[in-house]
Amino acid sequence: MEIEKHGKGSTVNISVVGTGYVGLVTGTCFAEFGLHVTCIDKESSKIKKLKKGEMPIYEPGLEELVRKNMREGRLEFTTDLSEAIHGALVVFIAVGTPSKKDGTADLSYVDEVARQIAHNMDGYKVVVTKSTVPVGTGERIRKIIEKEQKAPCNFDIVSNPEFLREGSAVNDFMRPDRVVIGANSDQAVAIMKDLYKPLYLIETPIVITNVETSEMIKYASNAFLATKVSFINEIADLCELTGADVHQVAKGMGLDGRIGPKFLHPGPGYGGSCFPKDTRAITHIAREHDHVMEIIEAVIKVNEDRKKKMAVKIIKHMGGDVAGTTIGFLGLAFKPNTDDMRESPSLTIIEVLQKQGAKIRAYDPAAMEEAAKVLKDVEYFSDPYDVAEGCDALVLITEWPQFRNLDLDELKRRLKAPVVVDLRNIYETARMKEKGIRYTSIGRPS
């Protein structure tokens, strides 16, 4: 099936339900590919903002692309799901699948959208899960739609997991390492391939498989990446005990083509909206099948312990007692170039320090608004030097580019004590020593 693509008046429409990090990037990038896209969200404040060309999230390059595609008539936003479903051949589900208390994926948002799709079906549709969903969800959606349809309508279910990274989401969507399409129908595969045609032109590998395998590829990928992070963090701890330098170890390991250099950066533990919840979810999927994912369960434990260990590291570096001290944080988000605070290691670390009696001051270039929703009693500043003013120690926790070249003399002047804990190894130990700063980092001889 060949899909016609042009601006206004395109014969093929796609809809993306859920306009968060994934839905908004997916919808915008498909519009940039030349398709007519309607993005739907139930949060009217989000849609109101988007209609004015304002972004509800911080994501580099996204605003320009949204505005351009709105201007050119290929991208629309609405809260009216029924209208958006009626006109669409392909409906992407991109709503959240957060962890429930027991660690399993909460599919209530996905189920709700499946019901709404069923109620509004007016012809053949391809229903695609972009959300990360447990193996078997495709089948679950099929059953919901079959049960809830007012009149029988043909449809196909496709799994098309998303691998974008927050902070470089637009580029990741436009130039992915691969596209995975899980489907049990040739027609649905043909339609999906056509949506991604611009990526064919840049020779992006497309993996065509069944729905269950596609769903598993996403969880297995995230679990593997999380494993790499926890692995190098454990190696970093051993480096600290033995005098080895974790950066050189990572470089020496990464040059081995079987290992690869990526995701071998030690730090305060992984966070964000995906790795923590997806590792938990995959271990639960396994346990539901009476199977134990021993490596991934260990990865989760290593990561949880790591965040507390980082708080202990800070306390130790400050002399063992932080009661009555003031600690400055540079960065709060789980990584640079995002305002996403979901499961950021800073949350646990700050909470432990506050419980021990420390006052916290902080600056993050994008995440302070989000941080203020989840952190209590933190004083925010709009400049790293103002954060440092009068602090007993400064903690670098997110490697924003603007933290890489700070004026160390000015920082030292502003700090009450020249103490720096660098949880991202942004600075060189020798240089900090030269400046008279009592400095510690991760997995490097101090």
Q: Is 336 in the site for ligand NAD (CB under 6 A)?
A: no
Separation between Cα atoms, residue 371 and residue 394, nearest integer Å = 18
Q: Does 80 bind ligand NAD (CB under 6 A)?
A: no
Tell me how far, at minimum, the Cβ of 337 lies from ligand NAD, in Å: 12
x-or-dash string of contact with ligand NAD, 110-149, rule CB under 6 A: --xx-----------------xx-----------------
What are the two backbone dihedrals, phi and then psi, of residue 250, each rounded to the nearest 5 degrees? Answer: -65, -40
Q: Decide if residue 217 touches ligand NAD (CB under 6 A).
A: no
Of the candidates 419, 28, 328, 13, the one whose C-alpha atom is nearest the C-alpha of residue 191 is 13
For the chain, give the longest Cα–Cα distance.
Answer: 75
CB of residue 51 to ligand NAD, shortest distance in Å: 15
User: CA 42 to CA 400: how far, in whole Å?
Assistant: 32
Alpha-carbon distance of 208 to 223, in angstroms, equals 21
Q: Does 21 participate in binding ligand NAD (rule CB under 6 A)?
A: yes
Q: Does 182 bind ligand NAD (CB under 6 A)?
A: no
* Burial classification of residue 196, based on how many CB atoms lie within 10 Å of its CB (0-12 exposed, 13-18 middle, 19 or more buried): middle
| Binds ligand NAD by CB under 6 A, chosen from 32, 41, 240, 339 | 41
Round to whole Å and give the CA distance between 76 and 46.
13
Helix 21-32 and helix 62-71, axial crossing angle in degrees, nearest 10: 50
- Taking only Cα atoms into account, the Rg of the chain, rounded to an integer number of angstroms, comes to 24
Does position 97 bind ligand NAD by CB under 6 A? Answer: yes
Which range, of 11-19, 147-155, 412-420, 423-431, touches ligand NAD by CB under 6 A? 11-19
Closer CB to ligand NAD, 94 or 180, in the complex: 94
Instruction: Please tell me the distance from the alpha carbon of residue 147 to that of residue 368, in angstroms, as a whole number.
Output: 44
- Asked if 251 and 261 count as a contact pair (C-beta separation under 8 A), the reply is yes
From the list 13-21, 252-260, 370-378, 397-405, the region that binds ligand NAD by CB under 6 A is: 13-21
Q: How far is the CB of 164 from ligand NAD (least distance, A)?
A: 5
Among the listed residues 29, 39, 239, 274, the single catalytic one is 274
As measured in angstroms, the least distance from the Cβ of 21 to ligand NAD is: 4
Asked if 28 and 102 count as a contact pair (C-beta separation under 8 A), the reply is no
Residues 240-279 that bind ligand NAD (CB under 6 A): 273-274
Only one of the segments 95-103, 374-382, 387-395, 421-429 lies at the binding site for ligand NAD (rule: CB under 6 A); that segment is 95-103
Answer yes or no: 274 catalytic: yes
Q: Which residues are catalytic?
A: 274
Contacting residues toward ligand NAD, per CB under 6 A: 17-23, 40-43, 46, 94-97, 109, 112-113, 131-132, 162, 164, 166, 273-274
